[in-house]
Amino acid sequence: ARMADEVLFQFLHNELIQYVYKSAEHGEMENGRCITRLENMGFRVGQGLIERFTKDTARFKDELDVMKFICKDFWTCVFKKQIDNLRTNHQGIYVLQDNKFRLLTQISAGKQYLEHAPKYLAFTCGLVRGGLSNLGVKSIVTAEVSVMPACKFQVMIQKI
Amino acid sequence: MSRQANRGTESKKMNSELFTLTYGALVTQLCKDYENDEEVNKQLDKMGYNIGVRLIEDFLARSSVGRCHDFRETADVIAKVAFKMYLGITPSVTNWSPAGDEFSLILESNPLVDFVELPDNHSNLVYSNLLCGVLRGALEMVQMAVDVRFAQDTLRGDNVTEIRMKFIKRIEENLPVGDD
């Protein structure tokens, strides 16, 4: 595959956030809708990426197998590291913990700017949801941070 | 911060598809938000400019490139070092104006347009216009005012993709008194 520099993606990601929040100022869009917009963009990208990443992989055995793929291969392709910890309650909830999340490392190592963290996570929540969706897994993905740059993504599988 | 500590020791290369697809999602969103292609082009240029003014710092910190003495040297650095570093491609530099203040970058391939097809109703969209903004913003930070635009684009049916760059003027440095 072709290579680009990760800095480009990081700067572009920052511009996406700036753009969405700036257009919100004029249109009186509240924070929640900005998050949704970023999440939706991530969703489209996640759908496209997973198609590329899985074109040579074997079929997945089950849901857990899919989640492992997201934590290892998908995360490595996108963020150049694996998810540090995957936990599940075996009832459709998965918690993916990244102790050094790439899109937060430039912002803070601690609690400074914590209130801005959600904007920097929304796109990635969408990435995961879009990726899962193209693997036939419908989900809701949220993220939480208590100390940057660590964060947890929670995936709730929607049973159809 | 981590960037400082990691500088030089860690590869910053990644799969370009994430960048390409994210850019695609952005253009799609802009096309929904704005009524006409010109507005989208303008917005892409603006975002590129914002990226360029930051990217130049990253570039100067990571490459060992010093100050360019003329526009020809600038052209070489852009094509052979910067494009290579960030997009993994090396455009050729051609079509110099006799005065040496204008040249073209010819892109054999453009990673931004992988997987892209322009619909007929967006004939005025300059899909990769972000690049113009990036170049303009980055050069402005090294005191060069440059006009950058797409002269040809394979997405719009041209044989090659050509970015035309025209030197306008050197921006005077306003150094604080007593600073070197």
Number of domains making up chain B: 1
Task: State which residue of chain A sits closest to B84, comparing Cα positions.
Answer: A4
Q: How far apart are CA B42 and CA B33, in angstroms?
A: 13
CA distances from A87 to A71, A139, A148, B28, B60 (A): 11, 16, 20, 35, 42
Those residues with Cβ within 8 angstroms of residue B112's Cβ, 6 or more apart along the chain or in another chain: B20, B23, B127, B128, B130, B131
pTM for the model stands at: 0.92
Task: State which residue of chain A sits closest to B15, comparing Cα positions.
Answer: A3
> For position A24, what pLDDT does the model report?
80
Q: Does any CB of chain A come closer than 8 Å to the CB of residue B63? A: no
Q: Do A6 and B14 touch (CB under 8 A)?
A: yes
Within chain A, strands assigned E span: 3-5, 85-88, 93-98, 139-144, 151-157
To the nearest whole Å, the CA of A142 is away from the closest chain B CA by 20
Q: Is residue B143 part of a domain?
A: yes
What is the pLDDT confidence band of residue B2, given thresholds at 50, 70 and 90? very low
Q: Is residue B120 part of a domain?
A: yes
Write out the two tokens for B96: 């110099």
Task: State which residue of chain A sits closest to B46, comparing Cα positions.
Answer: A15
Identify the CATH number of the domain in which residue B164 sits: 3.30.1380.20
Q: Do A13 and B22 touch (CB under 8 A)?
A: yes
**Complex ipTM tops 0.85:** yes
Number of domains making up chain A: 1
Q: How far apart are CA A99 and CA A103, in angstroms?
A: 12
How do the pLDDT tens digits run along chain A, 160 residues long?
678 889 999 999 999 999 999 888 766 567 889 999 999 999 999 999 999 999 888 899 999 999 999 999 999 999 999 999 999 999 999 999 999 999 999 999 999 999 999 999 999 999 999 999 999 999 999 999 999 999 999 999 998 7
Q: Kindly state the helix (H) or strand (E) to which residue B5 belongs, with its residue range.
A: helix B2-6
Asked whether B132 and B109 are in contact (CB, 8 A), the reply is no
What is the pLDDT confidence band of residue B177, given thresholds at 50, 70 and 90? confident
Grouping H, G, I as helix, E, B as strand and the rest as coil, residue B177 is coil
Is residue B173's pLDDT more than 80? no
Asked whether B145 and B83 are in contact (CB, 8 A), the reply is no
Q: Token pair 């969706």 is at which residue?
A: A133
Give me the domain span that covers residue B99: 47-170
Task: Please state, rounded to an integer, the average pLDDT across all residues of chain B.
Answer: 91
Q: How far apart are CA B89 and CA B78, in angstroms?
A: 11
> For position A32, what pLDDT does the model report?
86
Q: Kindly state the helix (H) or strand (E) to which residue B147 belongs, with its residue range.
A: strand B144-152
> For position A1, what pLDDT does the model report?
64
Those residues with Cβ within 8 angstroms of residue B73's Cβ, 6 or more apart along the chain or in another chain: none
Q: How far apart are CA A82 and CA A74, in angstroms?
A: 8
Q: Name which of A3, A42, A100 is nearest B15 (Cβ-Cβ).
A: A3
Identify the CATH number of the domain in which residue A105 sits: 3.30.1380.20
Please write the tens of the pLDDT for every residue from B4-36. 444 444 578 888 899 999 999 999 999 999 989
Q: Do B13 and A23 touch (CB under 8 A)?
A: no
Q: Is residue B39 part of a domain?
A: no
To the nearest whole Å, the CA of A160 is away from the closest chain B CA by 28
Q: Is residue B128 part of a domain?
A: yes
Q: Is residue B107 part of a domain?
A: yes
To the nearest whole Å, the CA of B109 is away from the closest chain A CA by 11
Q: Does any CB of chain A come closer than 8 Å to the CB of residue B115? A: yes
Strands of the sheet containing B92-94, edge to edge, are: B92-94, B102-107, B161-170, B144-152
Q: Is residue B114 part of a domain?
A: yes
Is residue B58's pLDDT more than 50? yes
Give me the domain span that covers residue A127: 1-157
Please write the tens of the pLDDT for every residue from B94-151. 999 999 999 999 999 898 999 899 998 999 999 999 999 999 999 999 999 999 999 9
Cβ atoms within 10 Å of B145's Cβ, excluding its own: 13
Please write the tens of the pLDDT for every residue from B78-90. 999 999 999 999 9
Q: How far apart are CA A87 and CA B180, in angstroms?
A: 56
> For position B14, what pLDDT does the model report?
81
Q: Is residue B38 part of a domain?
A: no
